[in-house]
Structure 1
Amino acid sequence: MCGRFASYDAYPKLARRLGVVVAEEGPPARYNIPPGTWITGFRQVVHDALPEQLDFWWGCRPKWAKGKAAQPINARVETVATSGYFKHAFARQRCLIPADGWFEWLATETGKQLHYITRIDCEPIAFAGIYAEREDGSRGCAILTEPARGSAAEVHDRMPLILDDASLEPWLDPDLTDRETIRNAVRHLDASLIDHWVVNRAVNRPGNDEDAGLINSA
């Protein structure tokens, strides 16, 4: 799954890769982003237009799901295209969430141990996401997850779906709506590029978001 992540250098790097004009003051560096907060991502609404930056509420509840309906923060790749909650978004409202890494908790004999998982080459991570309009007109998103691969599988059985560079454009392309076409057009990041290490348990406090030391090896 993905329930906490960091995004500090990834936004401008991914924006430039997508051809998006980077604002002079982009989103602030965040080292411990929890669900139920606003996060910055990219979407594309017209095939031949450049992607655009948009703020998403991390929690996806379509406007037809009223009241206290669930706001999932993750969507499984195995079912996202067929789920009543997500299938429209998967077909027509896909997005990218820039990240530098994410956190997972590993159960040990002495309690849960926090790990930071990232790319070993320090390149930006592009989480595959979907979004839907909420009742108030804003947009909420969910990050897709897949079975963990590479060293990430040492920490947790699920991980975010991270797209390789060649998959960014087709993932955002609103003209691609067919399930098999989308799946054939995108690839996840090579598992050999994933690494992790133990970090301080201060990450357990969601409000602790501005400390760059949170991602350092404990």
Structure 2
Amino acid sequence: MCGRYATTRSNADLSQFFEAADVTGELSPSWNVAPTNPVPLIRESATHAARVLDSARWGLVPPWAADLRQGSRMINARAETVAASRAFAPSFARRRCLVPADGWYEWVRAGKQKQAYYMTSADGSPLAFAGIWSAWGPESVLTCGVITTAALGGLARVHERMPLILPPDRWAGWLAGGGDPEPLLRPMSVAELDAIEVRPVGPAVGNVRNNGPELLSPPAEVTLF
């Protein structure tokens, strides 16, 4: 799964990188994004007739849900079932987005302790998680979820699941809506996988109240895998 991640770039940087008009207002950087937090996303907008940088609450809430609390259980959608799920299929068909991230966290148990790891682009470039969005309630609150897939290569030693990461040449097709689910949900290639670096980080990231660049610092001692 993907239950914590970092997204720290400015609106201006994200707008430029994704070639999207900024309609968010200012979003604060976060080194410890948790479910229900506001996050940036990239989506197509009929109103603006363009790709836009928007913000949404992390945890997709279908239009038929009774309240927003349901989103805390729907932060991820599995690639294997997203196209058929009652909760996720309508958004997958018509409301897909990119979720910008610097990297994501997972934990590996080592004896009685858990070691946190941070997966990020080796060259420091932003990652684009495949996502879906929905609007809930009379105020059309935007909510979103991250698509996950089976972890590949060495990443499977950290966790069995990982975000579905899309390279730039797949962004337009993903955002367009419609299309054959199989190629849209294709996992990373070997070359793309090699570009992901796994870094051990300290235990402070386990507390959602902690938030700052120090969370990415390596611990004094670590047992690798």
TM-score bracket, normalised by the shorter chain, equals 0.7 to 0.9
| Aligned-partner SS, 1:79 | coil
1:59-74 to 2 correspondence within 5 Å?
59-67=59-67, 70-71=70-71, 72-74=74-76
* C-alpha deviation, 1:14, in angstroms: 4.3
Relative to 1, partners in 2 of residues 1:48 and 1:171: Cα closer, same or farther, differing over 3 Å? farther
CA offsets 1:141-168 (integer angstroms, 9 cap, x no match): 1100000113321100000111011011
1:174-213 to 2 correspondence within 5 Å?
176-178=177-179, 180=180, 182-184=181-183, 188-189=187-188, 190-209=192-211, 211-213=212-214
CA offsets 1:65-107 (integer angstroms, 9 cap, x no match): 2148732000000000000111000000001111000100112
Q: Confirm or deny that 1:161 pairs with 2:161.
A: no
Aligned to 2:143: 140
Q: TM-score, structure 2 length as denominator?
A: 0.85
Aligned to 1:110: 112
Root-mean-square deviation (CA, aligned residues, Å) is: 2.4
* Residue segments in structure 1 that go unaligned for 5+ positions in a row: none
Identity of aligned residues (%): 33
Higher relative contact order (CA 8 A, sep 6+): 1
* C-alpha deviation, 1:9, in angstroms: 3.0
- Structure 2 distance, partners of 1:185, 1:18, is 19
Which amino acid in the other structure matches residue 84 of structure 1?
A: R
Aligned to 1:82: 84
Q: Which stretch shifts more, 183-192 or 70-79?
A: 183-192
- Structure 1 distance, partners of 2:78, 2:200, is 26
1:37-52 to 2 correspondence within 5 Å?
37-46=37-46, 49-52=49-52
Residue pair 2:21, 2:50 contacting (<8 A) in 1 also:
no
